[in-house]
Amino acid sequence: MGPVDLKKIISVVGARPNFMKVAPIHDVFRKHNDIIHHMICHTGQHYDDQMSKVFFEDLELPQPDFYLGVGSASHAVQTSSIMIEFEKVIIQQKPDLVIVVGDVNSTIACTLTAQKLGVKTCHVEAGLRSFDRSMPEEINRILTDSIADLLFVTEKSGLNNLQNEGVKSERVHFVGNVMIDSLNKYLMKCYASQIHSRLKISKKDYVLVTLHRPSNVDDKDQAIKLINLLNKVSEHKKIVFPIHPRTKKNWTEFKIIGLLSGNVIITEPIGYIDFIALLRDTALVLTDSGGIQEESTFLGIQCITLRNSTERPVTVDIGTNHLLGNDLHKAALKAQEILNGNIKNGSIPELWDGKAADRIVKIIINYLR
Ligand code: UD1
């Protein structure tokens, strides 16, 4: 037998929603460690233990091979710092491929860096479009997809969007959703979570809330409207509100956190297993997150999305997501309706079957041959 041609691959993680997307890909690569050396680079975009370390533990991810430690900053400073640091890693390691996931600043920064050094890249969760260019994530998605070599798509809308943008079909692969791979794998573990007793709440008798989009939490007037909505919903059910660092920082500065009613339980950000346990047993989730729209559709949990657009339309078309935009009066009425039992039955989108990472790795191995 000739010498084995070991291919080097670096996957990039930076922010909280990246960890559960890379974990299943890493798992599958481990089975192919005779031909693939898979490494993880953490840019340090998120650095608090509750935004990062706890996810490595919960998702059984190894310590990252490279930690860039860029931290928080303006978009330009954060993106460019990641590029400067990631360039050093690429020059030193000369990988055969870089994998990026999602739509955060780390995603575009590392794609651009690798491409400029002639390193092939692939984008997991490609093709999603909100068609709202005021979202930083939309800019990151469009730019990443336009330069990455391989595009892995989670839902059919992504195929249409890429086709409409003139992307050649050879670059595009419909593989399903790696985040659902993680959810599938860890769902059983959630039964051991103590989070409900810790928060003194009963299953199905609370509403889960997450809010962190700049459009919702960076503006004081909008924040106060959201607080009024939460207070209204909390007249009927307790609310559990794990508060994102961005939201906490802004709402503390605005001095408005105290306006939340006593029926709103505010917690620190919550780790992966405990969060899934909360999501699986909530009566309803109110959110502006992207990933939670997908996780709630998979779990059959009613979700009210407090945004004007979604880049994940399948969750509205066939899932349990209700896109209610900025009409918070309408959102309050919808929440009431749902809590009264008037729910939308959903189904699980195609290929959200826990095997997306297997498909991705198979395509990558063929591609690198
Ligand atoms: C980022 C992503 C967003 C994703 C979100 C998930 C971009 C453009 N945005 O937004 O798409 O949905 O992560 O959480 O990449 N902070 C901490 N500790 C941390 C991280 C952040 O205190 O570990 C605080 C800092 O004050 C920081 C602020 O949160 O300035 C915002 O963090 P940043 O990474 O800029 O963006 P996110 O709002 O988290």
pLDDT recorded at residue 284: 98
Q: For strands 97-101 and 66-67, give the pairing.
A: unpaired
Within a domain: 196:
yes
In a domain, 183, yes or no: no
Q: Is residue 134 part of a domain?
A: yes
| Same domain, yes or no: 158 and 15 | yes
Task: For ligand 1, say whether the CB of 179 is within 6 Å of any of its atoms.
Answer: no
pLDDT at 2: 45
Ligand 1 midpoint to CA 222 (Å): 19
Are 88 and 206 in a shared domain? no
| Any ligand 1 atom below 6 A from CB of 47 | yes
Residue at 228 is within a domain: yes
Establish if 88 belongs to a structural domain: yes
**126 and 273 co-located in one domain:** no
Q: Do 198 and 297 reside in the same domain of the chain?
A: yes
* Cβ(212) – ligand 1 distance below 6 Å: yes
Nearest-angstrom CA–CA distance, 343 and 93: 52
Nearest-atom index, ligand 1, CA of 104: 15
> In this structure, is residue 90 part of a structural domain?
yes
Domain interval for residue 29: 7-177+352-368
Q: Which residues are catalytic?
A: 212
* β partners of residue 206: 238
Distance, CA 290 to ligand 1 centroid (Å)?
14
Nearest CA to ligand 1 atom 39: 246
Assess whether 359 and 324 both reside in one domain: no
Q: Do residues 51 and 173 both lie within one domain?
A: yes
The verdict on 230 and 164 lying in the same domain is: no
Q: What is the CATH number of the domain that holds 172?
A: 3.40.50.2000
Number of structural domains in the chain: 2
- Report the distance separating Cα 114 and Cα 126, nearest Å: 17
Expressed in angstroms and rounded, the spacing between residue 246 Cα and the centre of ligand 1 is: 6
pLDDT at residue number 326: 82
Nearest atom within ligand 1 for CA of residue 102? 11
Residue with the smallest CA separation from ligand 1 atom 38 is 246
Best mutation site among 47, 80, 104 for ligand 1 pocket (most ligand atoms within 8 Å of CB): 104
Clarify whether residues 133 and 225 are in a common domain.
no
245 and 132 both lie in a single domain: no
Same domain, 363 and 313: no
Domain shared by 194 and 115, yes or no = no
pTM of the model as a whole:
0.97
Does 358 lie in the same domain as 264? no
In a domain, residue 347? The reply is no
pLDDT in tens, the chain (369 residues): 445 689 999 999 999 999 999 999 999 999 999 999 999 999 999 999 999 999 999 999 999 999 999 999 999 999 999 999 999 999 999 999 999 999 999 999 999 999 999 999 999 999 999 999 999 999 999 999 999 999 999 999 999 999 999 999 999 999 999 999 999 999 999 999 999 999 999 999 999 999 999 999 999 999 999 999 999 999 999 999 999 999 999 999 999 999 999 999 999 999 999 999 999 999 999 999 999 999 999 999 999 999 999 999 999 999 999 999 888 999 999 999 999 999 999 999 999 999 999 999 999 999 999
CA distance 113 to 85: 10
- The strands making up 284-287's β-sheet, listed across from edge to edge, are 264-267, 238-242, 206-210, 284-287, 303-305, 321-323
Residue 139 lies in a domain: yes
80 C-alpha vs ligand 1 centroid, how far in Å?
16
Instruction: Indicate the top mutation candidate among 46, 68, 125, 243 to test ligand 1's pocket, ranked by most ligand atoms within 8 A of CB.
Output: 46
